[in-house]
Amino acid sequence: LQGYVGFANLPNQVHRKSVKKGFHFTVMIVGESGLGKSTLVNTLFGTTLYPHKNDAEPSDETPATVEIQSLSADIEENGVKLRLTVVDTPGFGDFVNNEESWKPILENIEARFDAYLEQENRVNRRKMVDNRVHACIYFIAPTGHSLKPLDIEFMRRLHTKVNLIPVIAKSDTLTEDEIKQFKQRILDDIAQHKILIYQAPQYEYDDHETVAENREIISKIPFAIVGSDKEVELSDGRRVRGRKYPWGVIEVDNEEHNDFVKLRQMLIRTHMEELKEYTNDVLYENYRSEKLVTMGV
């Protein structure tokens, strides 16, 4: 089951819809350097989208602004194909003055809305390509304190444009108690600053199991995650993805150890369609109507 993603197990109805439309999912990852963004992406999708960094050759180029890098992979599972695009944003928060770190990211998201709008206005809409960002995973440094001004600013600027999914990076560096308290403080900050993070809808007609599963996923937000694309050996000889410490191994795919599995479930299995629909029906629609108003249409 290593590296197994799970989208091939989507509920039938959703599945059929998606297969017909073609799975195309775009996720953006944002957070300060070194928080494990590239590692998580490799861990999440069981595929290396990123060329591994060559430690012997550190890059001496320092870009003057946040870069936007788009990488795609086609992954296939039980005959179901998913075109996955990951938009990485290296450089975010790395500068002496990070006041406008959010700006190139917002511009990128809006440019993707514009490209979609342009296609909608064409006479022939048959070959529409949806490159809009369907989810933005925002990495919070595992300080154990509260959100930084940089985090708050980013989320406030972006929350009406993209589905924000906050995660606590490198949660293996915090104790269970610290994580619990940190999560609460983050949620308090988010509420206090009136930030909208992605809220999964609950449907009354869903069966008990689905409702319970969704509730369980939502209760873990902000997901405390651990990423590792390396396998380590447990004392019983099993090999798992994880991080090794003198006192033991933190397993990436063990729900007792961290929320990685829940994040993946939400993104790829339970909420992929929802994230796409909310992007289209609410975020994009608001953008589109505001744009039409400013253009005087």
Binding residues (CB under 6 A) for ligand GDP: these are: 33-39, 170, 172-173, 226-227, 243
Q: Residue 170 or residue 264: which is nearer to ligand GDP going by CB? A: 170
- 63 contact choice in Mg ion, ligand GDP, none (CB below 5 to 8 Å, kind-dependent): none
Q: Residue 10 or residue 249: which is nearer to ligand GDP going by CB? A: 249
Contact predicate 195/160, CB 8 Å: no
Which residue lies nearest ligand GDP, judged by its C-beta?
36
Minimum CB distance to ligand GDP, residue 249 (Å): 12
Q: DSSP per residue over the chain, as a string?
A: -TT---GGGS-HHHHHHHHHH-EEEEEEEE--TTSSHHHHHHHHHTS--SPPP-TTS------SS---EEEEEEEEETTEEEEEEEEE-TTTT-SS--TTTHHHHHHHHHHHHHHHHHHHTSS--TT-------EEEEEEP--SS---HHHHHHHHHHTTTS-EEEEETTGGGS-HHHHHHHHHHHHHHHHHTT---------TTS-HHHHHHHHHHHHTPSEE----SSEEE-TTS-EEEEEEETTEEEETT-TTT-SHHHHHIIIIIISHHHHHHHIIIIIIHHHHHHHHHHTT-
Q: How far apart are CA 57 and CA 53, in angstroms?
A: 8
Minimum CB distance to ligand GDP, residue 150 (Å): 14
- 101 contact choice in ligand GDP, Mg ion, none (CB below 5 to 8 Å, kind-dependent): none
Number of residues lying near Mg ion (CB under 5 A): 2
- 159 contact choice in ligand GDP, Mg ion, none (CB below 5 to 8 Å, kind-dependent): none
Minimum CB distance to Mg ion, residue 287 (Å): 28
Minimum CB distance to ligand GDP, residue 36 (Å): 3
Q: Which of residues 37-76 bind Mg ion (CB under 5 A)?
A: 37-38
- 227 contact choice in Mg ion, ligand GDP, none (CB below 5 to 8 Å, kind-dependent): ligand GDP
Of the listed pieces 29-37, 77-85, 206-214, 245-253, which binds Mg ion according to CB under 5 A? Answer: 29-37
Minimum CB distance to Mg ion, residue 134 (Å): 20
Which residue, 66, 51, 70, 79, is CA-closest to 106? 66
Minimum CB distance to Mg ion, residue 29 (Å): 8
- 39 contact choice in ligand GDP, Mg ion, none (CB below 5 to 8 Å, kind-dependent): ligand GDP
Q: Residue 166 or residue 227: which is nearer to ligand GDP going by CB? A: 227
Q: How far apart are CA 236 and CA 14, in angstroms?
A: 40
Contact predicate 168/225, CB 8 Å: yes
Minimum CB distance to ligand GDP, residue 85 (Å): 17
- 164 contact choice in Mg ion, ligand GDP, none (CB below 5 to 8 Å, kind-dependent): none
Q: Residue 37 or residue 271: which is nearer to Mg ion going by CB? A: 37
List interacting residues with Mg ion (CB under 5 A): 37-38
